[in-house]
Structure 1
Amino acid sequence: MDGSRSTLKVCLAASGGGHLRQLLDLEPFWASHDHFFVTEDTALGRSVARERPTEFVPHFALGQARLGNPALMVARALRSAWTSLRIVWRRRPDLVISTGAGSQLFIALWARLLGARIVLIDSFARFDRPSAFARLAGPLAHLRIAQSAAAAADWPGALVYEPLRHDTCEPIQKQNLLVATVGATLPFPRLVDLVLEAKRQGLITEDVLLQTGDVAQAIAPVDGVTIVNSLPFDELLVRLRDARIVVGHGGTGSIITALQAQCGTIVIPRRFELGEHYDNHQAEICEAFAARELVQVADDLASFEKALHAARSAPPNPVRTDYSGLAQVLRDYVAAI
């Protein structure tokens, strides 16, 4: 082991989208320790695995039952439990830091049973109340950290760390490009159809790069649209630097990444009632960012057209998440145990 590192073995556990990005932002803490990641097999997860020791666990969530597929949830939960046990038994972490969500539940459980300390950092996506993962896994945690005061008030014993900061930086020269992405985890055909229809009708005048995820049927080509199933995270960052406008789902990681790249940002929240997600937390996220005048929210073609006009005319309002203070909280916690 590198002599500059401590003997503490740290497991960094998160699902494969914005949850994982939050752990990456904590590198000032975990880089000095022997560490490994546990995540899902997504584009971002594979990007991390190319550079860091990484284990994959199956995706599962309680919402799969809410969407009418309890058998799938149970089957994946059992696979996740077994895979997680093997990982924890073999790796034997001393400390687990997890930002959720469901796929990391058994990592926290088995690690706690085998004597590890557990730190839960609830998702930045939860502005108003703790997530289902936080409520379910909370009893396993030695330290709970919420990222808003409202969520902490409803999560007994939680510390509060609010990471959102307004940024000041030199303007980025943009190209006549719109990037649309469904994210790393779930398909989102409504977003794909909306972008394609807006391009067909001439509402989108920019060139379009559209990341669709895995789709059941081939998508008919549309002039001016480049369609890809997946986009490695590093390449996505390059494209966002060029893009004038980004259209994405309502995940916090995707929103923050677009805002950091000084893109006009349009968000289309996945909705539970349409079978697009496990609950309506994306709508809550979008409303919170829209209230801060950081994003435009759309749900249909009419609202999307208005959002396009607003995104083109609004000046960049870059924000970032600053986790340096939280890294210090973790250093102090480790020093005290």
Structure 2
Amino acid sequence: MIFATVGTQIPFPRMIESVRYAAERLDIDIVAQTIDVDYVYTPKGRLTCVKTVHPRKFQDLVAAADIIVSHAGIGSIISAATASKPIILMPRQSQLSEHRNDHQVDTAKRFGSRRGIYIFNDGPELVDVLTVPLVPLAPIEPDMSPLIAGIKSFIWNAS
């Protein structure tokens, strides 16, 4: 199963259309979290779209998925790494009015060469990536630096 997520802030119809394109051509179940309340996603192939996903359900979907497809958000990359899942990223582009700047394009450039992270820009590229063997993203080791430990302690012990 593939879990696709556009994040929690703004819809990303170009990514969902690319996921739909892949679902129509590949024999795999895809669950997509869309957050889009205006766009109507008609079922095609084995694609199921849900507008919102509770954080616990999100983690369950990440754990159950073989592959994560996502916008190029750091939270999604961390989720995939924590679960040791391959992640395929589509960066939002400001020139397409998908975001206010190109920080996701920069994120994709920065992390795109890392083992377990793949990049796509449209449906045919997504199909191409999904038809080759993918390796999981290496797990993120907890940072136990004194700064991080102090911040965690402050947050967890705040009343």
Scaled by the length of structure 2, the TM-score of the pair is: 0.86
Name 2:155's counterpart in structure 1.
none
User: How far does residue 320 in structure 1 lie from its aligned partner after superposition?
Assistant: 1.4
How many residues were matched structurally?
153
Name 2:148's counterpart in structure 1.
327
**Which entry has the higher C-alpha Rg, 1 or 2?**
1
3-state SS of the aligned residue for 1:266? strand
3-state SS of the aligned residue for 1:180? strand
Pick the structure with more strand per residue: 1
Name 1:191's counterpart in structure 2.
15
Q: Distance between the aligned counterparts of 2:110 and 2:49, measured in 1?
A: 30
Name 1:271's counterpart in structure 2.
93
Residue type of the alignment partner of 2:106: E
- What does 1:127-138 correspond to in 2, within 5 Å? none
Q: Distance between the aligned counterparts of 2:96 and 2:141, measured in 1?
A: 31
3-state SS of the aligned residue for 1:191? helix
1:262-305 Cα distance to aligned partner (Å, 9 max, x none): 22210000000000011111011112111222310000123212
Do 1:256 and 1:321's aligned partners in 2 also have CA atoms closer than 8 Å? no
Name 2:38's counterpart in structure 1.
216
Matched, 1:316 2:136: yes
Q: Distance between the aligned counterparts of 2:2 and 2:74, measured in 1?
A: 19
Residue type of the alignment partner of 1:317: L
Matched, 1:180 2:4: yes
Name 1:16's counterpart in structure 2.
none
Do 2:89 and 2:117's aligned partners in 1 also have CA atoms closer than 8 Å? yes
Residue type of the alignment partner of 1:264: P
Do 2:81 and 2:139's aligned partners in 1 also have CA atoms closer than 8 Å? yes
Name 2:124's counterpart in structure 1.
302
Do 1:269 and 1:282's aligned partners in 2 also have CA atoms closer than 8 Å? yes
Matched, 1:206 2:28: yes
Q: Which runs of 4+ in 1 moved over 6 A?
A: none
Q: Distance between the aligned counterparts of 2:74 and 2:68, measured in 1?
A: 14
Greater relative contact order, per chain length (Cα 8 Å cut-off, separation 6+): 2
Q: Which range is displaced more, 215-224 or 276-285?
A: 215-224
Q: Distance between the aligned counterparts of 2:70 and 2:45, measured in 1?
A: 21
Gaps of 5+ in 2: 153-159
Q: Distance between the aligned counterparts of 2:58 and 2:9, measured in 1?
A: 15
Name 1:163's counterpart in structure 2.
none
Q: Distance between the aligned counterparts of 1:190 and 1:199, measured in 2?
A: 14
- What does 1:203-282 correspond to in 2, within 5 Å? 204-282=26-104
Label 1:217 to 1:302 Cα distance change in 2 as closer, same or farther (>3 A): closer
Q: Aligned residues: percent identity? A: 28
User: How far does residue 225 in structure 1 lie from its aligned partner after superposition?
Assistant: 1.6
Q: Which range is displaced more, 319-328 or 189-198?
A: 319-328
User: How far does residue 319 in structure 1 lie from its aligned partner after superposition?
Assistant: 2.4
Do 2:21 and 2:124's aligned partners in 1 also have CA atoms closer than 8 Å? no
Gaps of 5+ in 1: 1-176, 332-337
3-state SS of the aligned residue for 2:95? helix
User: How far does residue 329 in structure 1 lie from its aligned partner after superposition?
Assistant: 5.1
What do you get for the CA RMSD once the two structures are aligned?
2.1
1:231-282 Cα distance to aligned partner (Å, 9 max, x none): 0111111111111111000011111101221222100000000000111110
Do 1:178 and 1:207's aligned partners in 2 also have CA atoms closer than 8 Å? yes
User: How far does residue 306 in structure 1 lie from its aligned partner after superposition?
Assistant: 2.3
1:56-76 Cα distance to aligned partner (Å, 9 max, x none): xxxxxxxxxxxxxxxxxxxxx
Do 2:15 and 2:122's aligned partners in 1 also have CA atoms closer than 8 Å? no
Matched, 1:284 2:127: no
User: How far does residue 328 in structure 1 lie from its aligned partner after superposition?
Assistant: 3.6
Label 1:330 to 1:317 Cα distance change in 2 as closer, same or farther (>3 A): closer
